[in-house]
């Protein structure tokens, strides 16, 4: 096996940053105030794995994959570095942040220049890995597995190593098949595979029979696809309206063979490449960037929202952390919650009251939010304050908010005269809104010398609910708390008020006065008073939050809330669950901004829409969804320690939306094949309200004796799904993409007569 074929450098050959990483160097690893140890780090030859020495017994070295890194942060930006190092080493520090729940790696380099070099080099190789074409990723993955299988490191593969390799790539074969495959590739009859024989072996493994059939049907020009053939395929199969020029552009973009490219032809390799690109994916590529009107009032959008944002785990004893805010914001969460309590040394802290969760400084959270709020989405972020502080620390909260957020904080209305509606996400780009209690009406901004007569507000809120559910003495509904004028004054468009019924809200509440609803109250309203709830949400914002009894930080079902037009449906982002997958799916299109424009019938004051009792109306656009599950590619093994843990995959299809549209169907399971299982099974769904429907694909490892294990999943809005032959990427339980794994399906949406 030639070493350069496995290097994975892909365009970085000879690059100085790559050479720096391959050479490696000593860094100080920081775990606590007393634990700071020098360790050697370097990039391995596969250009995909970082090796570092370890002094643990039985573990002389450790590795982690570049693909496991979520981001690299320069400076003292992690909690660990802020706590255990001082300002003097600011420029020499950096942190490696991992996907999932793995702890950060906090490091100090010998100098600022060396730290900068590490960060720059790591970011370059991470970006290079992300930008590898799907085809290259597959090749990279296979060669990496081959390399692991080459036990004696002689660049050749024996039959024994081949069998080990087949297990690595999740294919179980009997001895006779392994021998046949080996014999077919071992042209030199040397008893090992090397050079071109390995390439042949690779071609056999990556052969996609189902793609061959499609390609051969349309390749009418000397065995290849001309631009006209490709156009024919896109029009007839993909049902996309496109032009010959667009087909030529695709050939220039994805064809690998230069001579075919010059003839405006697409080879089978080029066609497979195209099918794996955004144009061949199930998510409408035109819906990937911001495509919706962002100039409507803020309450006309669903807003991606987090509950107990400060928690990394459960809400009884889990750690509170600025990292939890960073992770939520980087996932385009646009409404975060801050549970504020009096802290020691006069500084307010954030944690889950009446519980054993750890505490984090309010000002540190605001600094982290300021730093990371707009890295993924430039649209506004709402800070939902749950205020339990006494006056002095409330004043300090207001001071921190105004000094740290500066001009980005909306501290007064944008309009010159009293507004009657919300500004739009477009007008609020890069701005922060505070949601909390306010002592007076918004008119005070326009009335000179207006006085606040009472400095108290009612104290009913989420924490009061939590105390009841945790068995502590509940606070009286009429109990009052003193509110600092400084904190009250920076609450502009999101004033918290108690909900006393839809009629009361209609007659007494201003548009900027919003209520929070516990999940069971909201569910009851969504099921029994849906149309009234929808009308309420045409004018005002509603925030839904999980019941305090969910001590494990589990999530409620968000879809009924969205069906009733509720905008701020707050979920526990730290909990990996189906509900979070649905949230990720809803907010997948529109540039992943965290804002999705509600359907017109949820923005209309005269709407008669009722999700639980469908009547005729603009919302009723009956569709038939035909889905064929064709195949899957490179499904990961779930238990990598067990050599024989080949998966038995099945695919489940789930439709969510109005109750009449909810449905689930699944394929049969395929034994012992996670590499290229083929189902070719067709399913049909009736969808009545497509604008509220979400489609979820779930791949599981079938187990006859216990619950199936999740292999991967993907959710997207029905209206963002493309017709034709489509690839679907698969995500881990925590929502990160699984490199190389995917589903191949055929989609056909038709109007129901």
Residues 6+ apart with CB under 8 A from 376: 329, 330, 331, 332, 592, 594
Domain span at 156? 135-206
HEC string for 526-566: HHHCHHHHHHHHHHCCEEEECCCCCCCCCCCCCHHHHHCCC
Tell me the percentage of the chain whose pLDDT exceeds 90: 61
**Cβ atoms of 242 and 186 closer than 8 Å:** no
Query: 508: exposed, middle or buried (C-beta count within 10 Å: 0-12, 13-18, 19+)?
Result: exposed
pLDDT at 314: 58
pLDDT at 3: 34
pLDDT at 470: 43
Same-domain status, 191 and 319: no
Please report, in range form, the residues annotated as the binding site.
Answer: 29-56, 308, 337, 339, 386, 435, 437, 516, 543, 646, 648, 672, 701-703
Structure tokens at 353: 């009251």
Please report, in range form, the residues annotated as the binding site for Ca(2+).
Answer: 308, 337, 339, 386, 646, 648, 672, 701-703
The reply to whether 307 belongs to the active site is yes
The CATH number linked to 162 is 1.10.238.10
pLDDT at 471: 43
Q: Is the pLDDT of residue 4 over 60?
A: no
Query: 198: exposed, middle or buried (C-beta count within 10 Å: 0-12, 13-18, 19+)?
Result: buried
Q: Is the pLDDT of residue 739 over 80?
A: no
Cα angle, residue 434 at apex, residues 394 and 583 outer, rounded to 5°: 125
Q: Can you tell me the distance from the alpha carbon of 424 to that of 343, in angstroms, rounded to the nearest whole number? A: 36
Same-domain status, 41 and 141: no
DSSP letter for 676, please: S
**Cβ atoms of 621 and 691 closer than 8 Å:** yes
Confidence band, pLDDT 50/70/90 cuts, at residue 464: very low
Q: Can you tell me the distance from the alpha carbon of 43 to that of 646, in angstroms, rounded to the nearest whole number? A: 30
Which has more confidence, 20 or 351?
A: 20
Q: Can you tell me the distance from the alpha carbon of 48 to that of 41, in angstroms, rounded to the nearest whole number? A: 13
Q: Can you tell me the distance from the alpha carbon of 432 to that of 146, in angstroms, rounded to the nearest whole number? A: 51
Strand, coil or helix: 49: strand
Same-domain status, 15 and 114: yes
Same-domain status, 516 and 591: yes
In the set 164, 287, 352, 581, the catalytic residue is 352
Q: Which of 80, 113, 130 is the last residue of a domain?
A: 130
Count the domains in the chain.
Answer: 5
Same-domain status, 437 and 537: yes
pTM of the model: 0.85
Find the farthest-apart pair of alpha carbons in the chain and give their distance in angstroms, rounded: 96
pLDDT at 468: 44
The CATH number linked to 422 is 3.20.20.190
Mean pLDDT of all residues in 666-676: 90
The reply to whether 536 belongs to the active site is no
Confidence band, pLDDT 50/70/90 cuts, at residue 433: very high
pLDDT at 375: 93
Burial 45-60 (b: 16+ CB within 10 A, else e): bbbbbbbbeeeeeeee
Q: Can you tell me the distance from the alpha carbon of 173 to that of 118, in angstroms, rounded to the nearest whole number? A: 43
Question: Does 289 fall in a domain?
Answer: no
pLDDT at 58: 57
Same-domain status, 120 and 150: no
Q: Is the pLDDT of residue 472 over 50?
A: no
Q: Is the pLDDT of residue 301 over 80?
A: yes
Query: 214: exposed, middle or buried (C-beta count within 10 Å: 0-12, 13-18, 19+)?
Result: buried
DSSP letter for 592, please: G
Question: Does 290 fall in a domain?
Answer: no
Question: Does 458 fall in a domain?
Answer: no
Lowest mean pLDDT among 44-53, 163-172, 190-199, 494-503: 163-172
Question: Does 460 fall in a domain?
Answer: no
Q: Can you tell me the distance from the alpha carbon of 617 to that of 248, in angstroms, rounded to the nearest whole number? A: 42
**713 forms bridges with which residues in the sheet?**
698, 731
Question: Does 453 fall in a domain?
Answer: no
Same-domain status, 656 and 742: yes
Pick from 438-442, 572-576, 631-635, 744-748 the range whose average pLDDT is largest. Answer: 744-748
The CATH number linked to 118 is 2.30.29.30
Q: Is the pLDDT of residue 465 over 70?
A: no
pLDDT at 107: 96
Mean pLDDT of all residues in 689-702: 97
Mean pLDDT of all residues in 154-159: 78
Same-domain status, 410 and 370: yes
Q: Is the pLDDT of residue 228 over 80?
A: yes
Strand order in the sheet with 49-53: 61-65, 49-53, 36-43, 25-30, 105-108, 93-98, 69-74
Q: Which of 89, 106, 130 is the last residue of a domain?
A: 130
Q: Can you tell me the distance from the alpha carbon of 626 to that of 751, in angstroms, rounded to the nearest whole number? A: 11
pLDDT at 635: 85
Question: Does 543 fall in a domain?
Answer: yes
Q: At what angle do helices 244-254 and 268-275 cross, to 10 degrees?
A: 100
Q: Is the pLDDT of residue 234 over 50?
A: yes
Same-domain status, 540 and 635: no
Q: Tell me what the pLDDT averaged over the chain comes to.
A: 87
Mean pLDDT of all residues in 418-430: 96
Cα torsion 190, 194, 195, 198 to 10°: value is: 110
pLDDT at 61: 59
For residue 117, what is the enclosing H or E element?
helix 112-131
Same-domain status, 562 and 586: yes
Which has more confidence, 312 or 664?
A: 664
Question: Does 308 fall in a domain?
Answer: yes
Same-domain status, 400 and 516: yes
Lowest mean pLDDT among 115-119, 204-208, 685-689, 703-707: 204-208
Question: Does 513 fall in a domain?
Answer: yes
Please report, in range form, the residues annotated as the binding site for substrate.
Answer: 29-56, 435, 437, 516, 543
Lowest mean pLDDT among 527-541, 543-557, 595-609, 662-676: 543-557
pLDDT at 541: 97
Cα angle, residue 656 at apex, residues 654 and 662 outer, rounded to 5°: 80
The CATH number linked to 663 is 2.60.40.150
In 476-525, DSSP assigns E strands to 480-482, 494-496, 513-518
The string of pLDDT tens digits covering residues 514-563 is 999 999 999 999 999 999 999 999 999 999 999 887 877 889 999 999 99
Mean pLDDT of all residues in 317-322: 73
pLDDT at 706: 82
The string of pLDDT tens digits covering residues 57-89 is 555 558 898 888 989 999 998 888 988 999 899
DSSP letter for 704, please: S
Q: Which of 130, 165, 185 is the last residue of a domain?
A: 130
Lowest mean pLDDT among 12-21, 299-308, 375-384, 499-508: 12-21
Confidence band, pLDDT 50/70/90 cuts, at residue 359: confident
Same-domain status, 241 and 346: no
Taken in order 267, 273, 274, 276, the sign of the CA dihedral is positive
The string of pLDDT tens digits covering residues 612-639 is 999 999 999 999 999 999 999 888 877 6
**Cβ atoms of 685 and 588 closer than 8 Å:** no
């Amino acid at each position: 096996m030639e070493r350069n074929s496995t290097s994975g450098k892909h365009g970085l050959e000879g690059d100085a940053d790559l050479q720096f990483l391959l050479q490696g160097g000593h860094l100080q690893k920081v775990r606590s105030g007393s634990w700071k140890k020098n360790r050697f780090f370097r990039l391995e030859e596969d250009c995909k794995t970082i090796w570092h020495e370890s002094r643990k017994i039985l573990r002389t070295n450790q590795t982690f994959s570049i693909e496991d890194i979520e981001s690299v942060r320069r400076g003292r930006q992690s909690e660990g570095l802020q706590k255990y190092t001082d300002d003097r080493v600011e420029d020499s520090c950096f942190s490696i942040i991992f996907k999932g729940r793995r702890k950060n790696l906090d490091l100090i380099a010998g100098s600022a220049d060396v730290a900068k070099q590490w960060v720059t080099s790591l970011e370059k190789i991470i970006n290079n890995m992300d930008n590898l074409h799907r085809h290259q990723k597959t090749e990279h993955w296979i060669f990496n597995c081959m390399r692991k299988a080459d036990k004696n490191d002689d660049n050749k593969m024996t039959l024994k190593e081949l069998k080990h390799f087949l297990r690595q790539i999740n294919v179980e074969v009997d001895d006779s098949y392994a021998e046949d495959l080996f014999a077919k590739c071992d042209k030199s009859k040397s008893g090992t595979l090397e050079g071109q024989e390995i390439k042949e072996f690779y071609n056999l493994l990556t052969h996609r029979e189902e793609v061959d059939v499609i390609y051969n049907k349309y390749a009418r020009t000397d065995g290849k696809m001309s631009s006209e053939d490709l156009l024919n395929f896109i029009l007839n199969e993909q049902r996309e309206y496109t032009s010959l020029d667009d087909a030529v552009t695709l050939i220039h973009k994805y064809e690998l063979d230069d001579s075919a490219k010059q003839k405006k032809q697409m080879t089978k390799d080029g066609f497979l490449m195209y099918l794996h690109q955004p144009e061949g994916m199930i998510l409408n590529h035109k819906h990937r960037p911001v495509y919706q009107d962002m100039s409507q009032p803020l309450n006309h959008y669903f807003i991606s929202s987090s509950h107990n944002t400060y928690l990394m785990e459960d809400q009884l004893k889990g750690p509170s952390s600025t990292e939890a805010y960073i992770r939520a914001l980087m996932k385009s969460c646009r409404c975060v919650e801050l549970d504020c309590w009096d802290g020691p040394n006069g500084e307010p802290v954030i944690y889950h009251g009446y519980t054993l969760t750890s505490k984090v400084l309010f000002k540190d959270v605001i600094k982290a939010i300021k730093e990371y709020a707009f890295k993924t989405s430039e649209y506004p972020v709402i800070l939902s304050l749950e205020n339990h502080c006494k006056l002095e620390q409330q004043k300090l909260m207001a001071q921190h908010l105004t000094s740290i957020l500066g001009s980005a904080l909306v501290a007064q209305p944008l309009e010159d005269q009293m507004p009657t509606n919300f500004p739009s996400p477009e007008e609020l780009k890069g701005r922060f809104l505070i949601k909390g209690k306010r002592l007076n009406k918004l008119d005070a901004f326009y009335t000179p010398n207006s006085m606040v007569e009472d400095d108290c507000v009612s104290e009913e809120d989420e924490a009061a609910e939590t105390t009841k559910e945790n068995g502590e003495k509940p606070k009286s509904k009429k109990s009052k708390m003193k509110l600092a004028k400084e904190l009250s004054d920076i609450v502009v468009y999101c004033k918290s008020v108690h909900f006393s019924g839809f009629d009361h809200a209609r007659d007494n509440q201003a548009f900027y006065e919003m209520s929070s609803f516990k999940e069971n109250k909201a569910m009851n309203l969504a099921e029994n008073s849906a149309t009234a709830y929808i009308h309420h949400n045409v004018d005002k914002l509603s925030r839904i939050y999980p019941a305090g009894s969910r001590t494990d930080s589990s999530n409620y079902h968000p879809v009924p809330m969205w069906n009733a037009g509720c905008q701020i449906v707050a979920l526990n982002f730290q909990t990996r669950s189906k509900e979070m997958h649905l949230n990720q799916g809803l907010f997948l299109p529109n540039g992943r901004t965290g804002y999705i424009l509600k359907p017109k019938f949820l923005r209309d004051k005269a709407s008669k829409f009722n999700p639980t009792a469908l009547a005729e109306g603009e919302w009723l656009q009956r569709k038939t969804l035909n889905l064929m599950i064709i195949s899957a590619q490179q499904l990961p093994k779930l238990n990598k320690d067990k050599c024989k843990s080949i998966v038995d995959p099945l695919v489940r299809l789930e439709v969510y939306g109005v109750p009449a549209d909810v449905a689930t169907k699944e394929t049969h399971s395929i034994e012992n094949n996670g590499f290229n299982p083929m189902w070719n099974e067709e399913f049909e769904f009736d969808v009545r309200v497509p604008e509220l429907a979400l489609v979820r694909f779930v791949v599981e490892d079938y187990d006859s004796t216990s619950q199936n294990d999740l292999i991967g999943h993907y959710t997207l809005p029905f209206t963002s799904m493309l017709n034709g032959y489509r690839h679907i990427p698969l995500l881990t339980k925590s929502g990160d993409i699984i490199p190389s794994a995917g589903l191949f399906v055929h989609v056909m949406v038709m109007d129901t007569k």
